[in-house]
Amino acid sequence: MYEILEKPANKPFEFYAAYYPPIYAGFKAATIDELIEGIKKVDGFSIFYHVFHPLFSSHVVPEDMSNDFATWIRDELGDRLLAQKISDIEGKEPRTVENVREDLIKILSEARISKTANKPFYFITCKPVVYNTGRVAKSLAEFIDIIASISIRSIAYHFIFRRIIGYEDKNDFSKWIEDNYGLTELSKKLSSLDPQTYTDEEMLREDLLKIFEQELLSK
């Protein structure tokens, strides 16, 4: 297995990264019904921003609530059970923001809450700014080394953003490994990670590296 680490890839992997500058989406909600209407109207970038940005942004989020909707429901409407259901929505492959949107609407539509929040929920969207990091992996060994040291913004861009927004049907890492080395099991294990289960960005990096170690270095 060690030989494959140094084997040149057919196509080198270029690492990009992105910022997601927030923009007010033009909607706010003070009740569950208004929250549902807002979720129906906003674009996919807004769903991505509120559900996935807590993992890799500088925002401080509660460890037990993985997204902005859940935090608002708990803190402003006082419904911890509903908040937990919203926090538990899955985001792993092959799901996209549209699948997440459908789950949000379904769970919220079944809720029976008429309370009006003191502080409204403001819908934010974003306009991603993508940039080349200048780092390129020409082999699996280089690929793993770069993942161990590159910014979490790059990992999030390739592992979460492009797949969850619908640009690709799987994350870029799994796709590159499968296309260049035919390592389907390794590819599947990477794809099985659900970014929604992480509230610490470095834990995601650690779990990615653990999978590489288990599949490539321990056999």
> What residues contact residue 50 under an 8 Å CB cut-off, 6+ apart?
67, 68, 69, 123, 124
- Confidence band for 1, pLDDT divided at 50, 70 and 90: low
Please give the pLDDT value at position 60: 55
pLDDT digits (tens, 9 = 90+) for 115-161: 999 899 999 999 999 999 999 999 999 999 999 999 999 999 999 99
Global pTM reads 0.90
Q: How many Å apart are CA 41 and CA 112, to the nearest integer?
A: 21
β 121-126/8-19 pair status: unpaired
> What residues contact residue 134 under an 8 Å CB cut-off, 6+ apart?
none
Domain boundaries, the chain: 1-19+131-218, 22-126
Candidates 147, 196, 199; CA nearest to 173 is 147
Residues facing 16 on adjacent strands? 132
Q: How many CB atoms lie within 10 A of CB 86?
A: 25
Q: How many Å apart are CA 213 and CA 69, to the nearest integer?
A: 35
